[in-house]
């Protein structure tokens, strides 16, 4: 079937080949490892697409600093923004002001020595009015001062994907424009809410959400999952929420929240 472009939700798309020998509508995947024999997994020639109602300002240019194996750049392109990968030369001396917003990939400070070496250039970009979105990092982030103010990544996480999310600043633009963030935004998440939240941090940082796990062995409200600092004329935002996991899964609210985060670059 071919879904109507106005129909939100999931739609099955099937492939059928008709020949003189008959109709064919299956395919197969080969599974083979050294310790087992080859197997063919036969499946229907069918895929699923999902149509999501989400808005983004037109003409946004996003600079992306690749991290460790995340699939966020394709999601940004699906939203309609132009994605340019920021390479070593860009970090060292390129014109970063051409980007409306710059996003660092998952655990980018672990992977990218050029990012660590030229982080001051990103802070200059923010100081001049740019928006920098930093996705979660592990403890390599704590080896130097990479944020605009003192901050430390913690072990805090919320592993229940349905854990309640309390918005601490409901009038913040990230929850209002261009998509209204509400209770449904946090529905149908997969595997977890997020991990490696910012822990100890300067009061210049503002927590935007608070989460609390439902598991008794991870008690207490957790902050640091979505944090903003205004620095100079721009914004520095830390995202411990697991958007990198939700976007490939097609989580509607993750796309809406990502669009709003990117749109902060148009709001400055």
CATH topology of domain 61-267: Rossmann fold (3.40.50)
Compute CA distances 146 → 39, 116, 121, 122, whole Å. 49, 8, 11, 9
Blockwise average pLDDT, block size 10, the chain, 268 residues: 62 81 83 88 81 93 94 96 98 97 97 97 98 97 96 97 96 96 96 97 98 95 98 98 96 97 90
**Would you kindly state where each structural domain of the chain is located, as residue ranges?**
9-51, 61-267
pLDDT for position 70: 85
- If you count them, how many residues does the chain have? 268
Tokens representing 100 are 């409306």
pLDDT for position 116: 97
44: alpha, beta or left, given left = phi > 0 and alpha = psi -120 to 50?
Answer: beta
pLDDT for position 1: 46
pLDDT for position 268: 67
- Report the 10 Å Cβ neighbour count for 45: 14
């Amino acid at each position: 079937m071919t879904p109507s472009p106005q129909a939100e939700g999931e739609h099955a798309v099937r492939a059928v080949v008709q020949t003189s020998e008959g109709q064919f509508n299956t395919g197969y995947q080969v599974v083979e490892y050294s310790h087992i024999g080859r197997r063919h997994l036969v499946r229907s020639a069918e895929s699923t697409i999902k149509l999501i109602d989400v808005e983004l300002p037109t003409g946004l240019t996003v600079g992306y600093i690749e991290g460790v194996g995340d699939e966020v750049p394709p999601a940004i392109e699906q939203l309609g923004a132009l994605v340019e990968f920021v390479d070593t030369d860009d970090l060292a001396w390129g014109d970063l002001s051409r980007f409306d917003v710059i996003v660092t990939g998952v655990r980018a400070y672990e992977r990218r020595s050029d990012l660590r070496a030229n982080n001051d250039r990103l802070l200059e970009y923010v100081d001049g009015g740019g928006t920098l979105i930093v996705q979660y990092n592990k403890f390599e982030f704590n080896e130097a001062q990479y944020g605009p103010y003192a901050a430390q990544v913690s072990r805090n996480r919320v592993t229940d994907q349905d854990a309640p999310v309390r918005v601490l600043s409901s009038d913040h633009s990230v929850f209002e424009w261009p998509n209204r963030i509400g209770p449904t935004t946090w529905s149908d998440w997969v595997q977890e809410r997020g991990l490696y939240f910012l822990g100890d941090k300067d009061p210049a940082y503002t927590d935007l959400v608070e989460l609390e796990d439902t598991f008794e062995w991870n008690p207490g409200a957790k902050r640091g999952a979505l944090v903003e600092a205004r620095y100079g004329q721009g914004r520095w935002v830390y995202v411990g929420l697991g958007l990198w996991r939700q976007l490939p899964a097609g989580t509607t609210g993750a796309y809406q929240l990502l669009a709003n985060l990117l749109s902060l670059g148009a709001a400055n």
